[in-house]
Amino acid sequence: MAKELKELTNREENYSQWYNDLVVKAGLAENSAVRGCRVIKPYGYAIWEKMQRALDQMFKDTGHENAYFPLFIPKSFFSKEAHHVEGFAKECAVVTHYRLKNDPEGKGVVVDPDAKLEEELIVRPTSETIIWNTYKNWIQSYRDLPILCNQWANVVRWEMRTRLFLRTAEFLWQEGHTAHATREEAIEEAERMIRVYADFAENWMGVPVIVGHKSPNERFAGAEDTLTIEALMQDGKALQSGTSHFLGQNFAKAFDVQFTNREGKLDYVWATSWGVSTRLMGALIMAHSDNNGLVLPPRLAPIQVVMIPIYKGEQELAEVTAKLSAIAAELKKRGISVKLDARDNVRSGFKFAEYELKGVPVRLAMGPRDLAGGTIEIARRDTLTKEVVPQEGLADRIEGLLDEIQANIYNKALKFREGMMTPVDTYDEFKRVLDEKGGFVLAHWDGTPETEERIKEETKATIRCIPVDAPDEEGVCIYSGKPSQRRVIFARSY
Amino acid sequence: MAKELKELTNREENYSQWYNDLVVKAGLAENSAVRGCRVIKPYGYAIWEKMQRALDQMFKDTGHENAYFPLFIPKSFFSKEAHHVEGFAKECAVVTHYRLKNDPEGKGVVVDPDAKLEEELIVRPTSETIIWNTYKNWIQSYRDLPILCNQWANVVRWEMRTRLFLRTAEFLWQEGHTAHATREEAIEEAERMIRVYADFAENWMGVPVIVGHKSPNERFAGAEDTLTIEALMQDGKALQSGTSHFLGQNFAKAFDVQFTNREGKLDYVWATSWGVSTRLMGALIMAHSDNNGLVLPPRLAPIQVVMIPIYKGEQELAEVTAKLSAIAAELKKRGISVKLDARDNVRSGFKFAEYELKGVPVRLAMGPRDLAGGTIEIARRDTLTKEVVPQEGLADRIEGLLDEIQANIYNKALKFREGMMTPVDTYDEFKRVLDEKGGFVLAHWDGTPETEERIKEETKATIRCIPVDAPDEEGVCIYSGKPSQRRVIFARSY
């Protein structure tokens, strides 16, 4: 077995270390020389690119266009929206100077004190402020609305404790920023986009999610309502995977963005913003992978099928490889991404382990006996099963198999998630479930920030969301005993 | 005629103002609240996306993978390569702090003096240093080579005088960074990539370019050789449009990146880097556009065909639009991007002017008489000609027309460029051509940096490149009279 695999920490022993090992050893990402910043390696970036392509098409299909706004935001912009400044203008990278000069003492370069900026610039932690300052010039009348912009960008939040993909100082994301003539239209947009995210998570990533509203405590700074998709990881902790905010008229008021409405009256513009980030990479990895490595859903796998020749000597290698090449060409014609690994300097056992580690959904192996008998071995990464099948009809079979694996990965995660949804009616039960089982705990809550805050302090669990489809149900708050109209979802989370 | 068009400055009167007007009025980009940073608006970004898609595919077809490296670079990294520090560690954005706090005097937020970084971070002006610091951990043996990485990213250079797309503090680009086991392989890679850029410029942008080597004065800081593609704008000035650098072992030595070669000996790794940026947007605009607005080559046009109904009253609008919709569907099936503009609140004359301004290659107009007679009007943006043709066979005709326009735009630019290549043999003639005609001036040069420097001081012309296909030709330097083996290309430039 490959050296890398031997060193993969066991998931059941140390989930956190298993995750970190996996990210590094599968070649997805690694830490860099800059604290809190990471390098996304080619294999990891290839998955992110597939995510981007799919999401970008979904955004365009719902009428959005891409644009690009500045990396830097003047410091004063953050003070304009009262809640936003509390949430975002704190832990961030501040540019104070614009020039270096040679050290007079000959030790490299130093900051030139004469090149101090009049006003400091903040590296964007999110772009509402600079974008609404721009929209001010784009909007005069209801005819200029809606504006449906998205931006693919890097952002920086100076996190003190970082984890690859889940929480890093710099990360990649997209942020949609839309402007509307009416409150109703903006709310509809925020709801549309959280549904797009849920669709992507479930149908591309194979990760089931719960769509709901954040409690006021957990809302985006400056939002009137935050919608979220919440996913469950295999260790029973929740991961917030995407959010969509109804911003009301808060940013329009902060940046004085008014328009003439259909009735000819001046009004402030209504706004939404919504985003997902490279954090989705963390969700993807943690939701499906196992002790052999990554398990990737076929729709996001950079390599969907890997082919490995089994042989002794150059003659056999050449013959088997020729046949595999022909099959590869046929699969590629159908839009399947195939890698034929005919390296002669590593054993096939090493290759098997390597592609398991990298989560390639389907592995084909062929030896001289297969060549003679017209057969081939197919192995599935998700179930770790294999079978020998005829080469005849292989392309159809693989196309079907990729769909089957995509569905199986989702269904497995869904079944796990459903087993981890536990309704509780007392605070003792609540704490016991959190400690012994984890997962989503469905409990009544009195709706106050104070209760939520105390539960968080005492148990480290937060309200992940108030599900949009939560049925009405009379009950009493597990903490305060006050009346409640529906259960909300609590969990410990990343 | 549309109000916007009336306000477009005449190209012949003030080229620079014409360019700026065009960028803003065609909705490509605009200045932002942050000095030197611009907003790329949706229409401009749509062109950039098309460029990215095409280039990205070309990079992948030549074996490259994408990755992502940190935005921030520790200050000390710049001092490690002696030439690089001179070229890049000067005018740049410096992050010195990582936190803001509420102003004790209640005036918004201020930089928290307690949150000063131990070592300042530079917002990347280019990424050789952080990438070679990373490659150190990726490379042990010749088996780990080559590494063929590309990154799509934003970079910041604190330019004092900025112009939309051509020179801005923050800009978007791609930077390829490759690592090789031999000098020859690295040189081959640098040459391959400048050819990819030339291919892209000519076949996608319709901009003819000259491929050549930069003189030592104009080389990238840290390179042993810089290859460039040089384009000519309609005002006779040159625009450096892409560069590819052979970096020798300079960065490997600076960051101590050694590998065991095939002979089992330790050696430093050989490097290249290469990049093109949103500057290409400036080249695209300036090379083809006219006093009516943008002229876009069909392969990069976000809208290739616009359809405008000509009508009186709702009944006619409905009938014409129904027919146009059917035609649009047929064109879309062939992969042509079509926009049907059936807005009822602006006149068709306004629409005509608007899409001319936006450079849409083909305009289709249809009125009730066309509907009855089975005809349609086709107008070409490049030649500003129009004709009425049968609807029968329209899709074929348009497919052919888009190819014809693509070729015509290139050929027109090529013809212009060829008329602007002027060989001169004396310094007086050199200065006269620069002042009276502009363009590329082919002259003998003695090969010394001193002569190049003096010519630049006296005439503002620089050596754009030493063309790779420059024929051997004995001559004497126009400035010093010393012997020369070939003509080089001088020009004033952006």
The DSSP string of B306-358 is EEEE--SHHHHHHHHHHHHHHHHHHHHHTT--EEE---SSS-HHHHHHHHHHT
Taking 90 as the threshold, does the pLDDT of residue B348 lie above it? yes
How does residue B84 score in pLDDT terms, banded at 50, 70 and 90? confident
- B276 Cα to chain A: minimum distance (Å): 17
| Residue of B25, B39, B170, B178 to mutate, testing the A interface (most A Cβ within 10 Å of its Cβ) | B39
Judge contact between B262 and B233, C-beta under 8 A. Answer: no
Same domain, residue pair B329 and B273: no
Beta bridge partners of A243: A228, A275
Instruction: Determine, for residues B121 and A78 on separate chains, whether the beta-carbon distance falls below 8 Å.
Output: no
For residue B444, what is the enclosing H or E element? strand B440-444
How does residue A470 score in pLDDT terms, banded at 50, 70 and 90? confident
Tokens 């052979």 label which residue?
B246
Phi, psi of B86 (to 5 degrees): -65, -40
From A93, A99, A120, residue closest to B90, measured CB to CB: A99
Share of chain B above pLDDT 70, in %: 99
| Mean of pLDDT over chain B | 95
DSSP class per residue in A94-127: EEEES-EEE-TTSSSEEE-TT-EEEEEEEEPSS-
Q: Which residue of B has its CA nearest to A73?
A: B34
How does residue B1 score in pLDDT terms, banded at 50, 70 and 90? very low
B99: which chain A residues are within 8 Å (Cβ-Cβ)? Answer: 90-92, 94, 158
Instruction: Determine, for residues A158 and B69 on separate chains, whether the beta-carbon distance falls below 8 Å.
Output: no
Q: Is residue A99 part of a domain?
A: no
Q: What does the block give as tokens for A178?
A: 């839309």
Q: Is residue A361 part of a domain?
A: yes
Q: Is residue A110 part of a domain?
A: no
Q: Provide the pLDDT for residue A235.
A: 96
Same domain, residue pair B58 and B195: yes
Same domain, residue pair A38 and A22: yes
Is the bond preceding B297 in cis, omega lying within 30 degrees of 0?
Answer: no
Same domain, residue pair B131 and B161: yes
Instruction: Determine, for residues B33 and A74 on separate chains, whether the beta-carbon distance falls below 8 Å.
Output: yes
**Which among A389, A416, A443 is the end of a domain?**
A416
Quick check: A72 contacting B, CB < 8 Å? yes
A458-476 mean pLDDT: 96
| Residue of B72, B86, B171, B278 to mutate, testing the A interface (most A Cβ within 10 Å of its Cβ) | B72
B342-349 mean pLDDT: 94
Taking 50 as the threshold, does the pLDDT of residue A7 lie above it? yes
Q: Is residue B23 part of a domain?
A: no
A32: which chain B residues are within 8 Å (Cβ-Cβ)? Answer: 69-70, 130, 134
Quick check: B85 contacting A, CB < 8 Å? yes
B69: which chain A residues are within 8 Å (Cβ-Cβ)? Answer: 32, 39
Same domain, residue pair A270 and A318: no
From A76, A120, A154, residue closest to B154, measured CB to CB: A154
Instruction: Determine, for residues A94 and B92 on separate chains, whether the beta-carbon distance falls below 8 Å.
Output: no
Between the alpha carbon of residue B284 and those of residues A273, B41, B90, B296, the distances in Å are: 33, 16, 30, 8
B37: which chain A residues are within 8 Å (Cβ-Cβ)? Answer: 70-72
From A67, A91, A123, residue closest to B39, measured CB to CB: A67
Least confident of A460-464, A479-483, B106-110, B150-154: B106-110
Residue B465: give its domain's CATH number: 3.30.110.30
- B424 Cα to chain A: minimum distance (Å): 41
Q: What does the block give as tokens for A435?
A: 């400690």
Residue closest to A286 by CA, chosen among A20, A68, A90: A20
Range of the domain at B303: 298-416
Residue A339: give its domain's CATH number: 3.40.50.800
Same domain, residue pair B280 and B237: yes
Q: Is residue B10 part of a domain?
A: no
Q: Provide the pLDDT for residue B89.
A: 67
Q: Which residue of B has its CA nearest to A75?
A: B109
Taking 90 as the threshold, does the pLDDT of residue A276 lie above it? yes
Q: Is residue A101 part of a domain?
A: no
Count of residues in chain B: 494
| Alpha-carbon gap, residue A472 to A442, rounded angstroms | 13
Quick check: A93 contacting B, CB < 8 Å? yes
Instruction: Determine, for residues B67 and A130 on separate chains, whether the beta-carbon distance falls below 8 Å.
Output: no
Residue A198: give its domain's CATH number: 3.30.930.10
Instruction: Determine, for residues A98 and B90 on separate chains, whether the beta-carbon distance falls below 8 Å.
Output: no
**Which among B365, B385, B416 is the end of a domain?**
B416
From A40, A99, A345, residue closest to B91, measured CB to CB: A99
**Which among A262, A288, A314 is the end of a domain?**
A288
- B77 Cα to chain A: minimum distance (Å): 9
Instruction: Determine, for residues B96 and A96 on separate chains, whether the beta-carbon distance falls below 8 Å.
Output: yes
Residues 315 to 354 of B: which have CB under 8 A from any A CB? 345
From A68, A100, A345, residue closest to B172, measured CB to CB: A68
A146-165 mean pLDDT: 95
Name the 3-class secondary structure at A33: coil
Q: Is residue B160 part of a domain?
A: yes
Q: Provide the pLDDT for residue A5.
A: 53
Least confident of A23-37, A80-94, A217-231: A80-94
A48: which chain B residues are within 8 Å (Cβ-Cβ)? Answer: 68
| Alpha-carbon gap, residue A476 to A444, rounded angstroms | 6
Q: Which residue of A has its CA nearest to B103?
A: A79
| Cα four-point dihedral sign A468, A471, A473, A478 | negative
B78: which chain A residues are within 8 Å (Cβ-Cβ)? Answer: 100, 108-109
Name the 3-class secondary structure at B380: strand
DSSP class per residue in B25-55: HTTSEEE-SSTT-EEE-HHHHHHHHHHHHHH
Same domain, residue pair A127 and A150: yes
| Residue of A47, A52, A71 to mutate, testing the B interface (most B Cβ within 10 Å of its Cβ) | A71
A91-102 mean pLDDT: 94
Same domain, residue pair B428 and B408: no
Number of domains in chain B: 3
From B34, B42, B66, residue closest to A149, measured CB to CB: B42
**pLDDT (tens digit per residue) in B86-143:** 777 689 999 999 999 988 887 788 999 999 999 999 999 999 999 999 999 999 999 9
| Residue of B40, B56, B68, B344 to mutate, testing the A interface (most A Cβ within 10 Å of its Cβ) | B68
A485-494 mean pLDDT: 96
A78: which chain B residues are within 8 Å (Cβ-Cβ)? Answer: 100, 108-109
Quick check: A76 contacting B, CB < 8 Å? yes
A113: which chain B residues are within 8 Å (Cβ-Cβ)? Answer: none
B72: which chain A residues are within 8 Å (Cβ-Cβ)? Answer: 34, 37, 93, 170
Q: Is residue B14 part of a domain?
A: no
Residue closest to A53 by CA, chosen among B105, B96, B52: B52
For residue B272, what is the enclosing H or E element? strand B270-277
Torsion region of A17: left, alpha or beta (phi above 0 gives left; psi -120 to 50 gives alpha): alpha
Same domain, residue pair B321 and B440: no
Name the 3-class secondary structure at A377: strand
Instruction: Determine, for residues A109 and B96 on separate chains, whether the beta-carbon distance falls below 8 Å.
Output: no
Name the 3-class secondary structure at A489: strand
Quick check: B96 contacting A, CB < 8 Å? yes
- A101 Cα to chain B: minimum distance (Å): 6
Is the bond preceding A471 in cis, omega lying within 30 degrees of 0?
Answer: no
Which distant-in-sequence residues (6+ apart) come within 8 Å of A353 by Cβ?
Answer: A1, A2, A4, A5, A292
Taking 90 as the threshold, does the pLDDT of residue B161 lie above it? no
Q: Provide the pLDDT for residue A103.
A: 85
Quick check: A360 contacting B, CB < 8 Å? no
Least confident of A269-278, A370-379, B3-12: B3-12
Q: What does the block give as tokens for A190?
A: 């925020």
How does residue A2 score in pLDDT terms, banded at 50, 70 and 90? very low
Quick check: B134 contacting A, CB < 8 Å? yes
Q: Which residue of B has its CA nearest to A160?
A: B98
Same domain, residue pair A262 and A406: no
Is the ipTM reported for this complex over the cut 0.90? yes
Same domain, residue pair A257 and A148: yes
Same domain, residue pair B233 and B374: no
Tell me how many residue pairs between chain A and chain B have CB atoms under 8 A apart. Answer: 190
A244-252 mean pLDDT: 97
| Alpha-carbon gap, residue A180 to A248, rounded angstroms | 10
Residues 369 to 398 of A: which have CB under 8 A from any B CB? none
Q: What does the block give as tokens for A145?
A: 């609305």
Judge contact between B276 and B205, C-beta under 8 A. Answer: no
Instruction: Determine, for residues B68 and A40 on separate chains, whether the beta-carbon distance falls below 8 Å.
Output: yes
**pLDDT (tens digit per residue) in A344-373:** 999 999 999 999 999 999 999 999 999 999
Taking 70 as the threshold, does the pLDDT of residue A190 lie above it? yes
Instruction: Determine, for residues B99 and A97 on separate chains, whether the beta-carbon distance falls below 8 Å.
Output: no
Enter the pTM of the model.
Answer: 0.96
Taking 90 as the threshold, does the pLDDT of residue A377 lie above it? yes
Quick check: A70 contacting B, CB < 8 Å? yes
B426-440 mean pLDDT: 98
| Alpha-carbon gap, residue B424 to B445, rounded angstroms | 11
- A75 Cα to chain B: minimum distance (Å): 8
Residue closest to A355 by CA, chosen among A390, A336, A380, A329: A380
From A38, A90, A143, residue closest to B99, measured CB to CB: A90
Q: What does the block give as tokens for A451?
A: 């209760």
Q: Provide the pLDDT for residue A124.
A: 97
Quick check: B34 contacting A, CB < 8 Å? yes
Judge contact between A295 and A288, C-beta under 8 A. Answer: yes
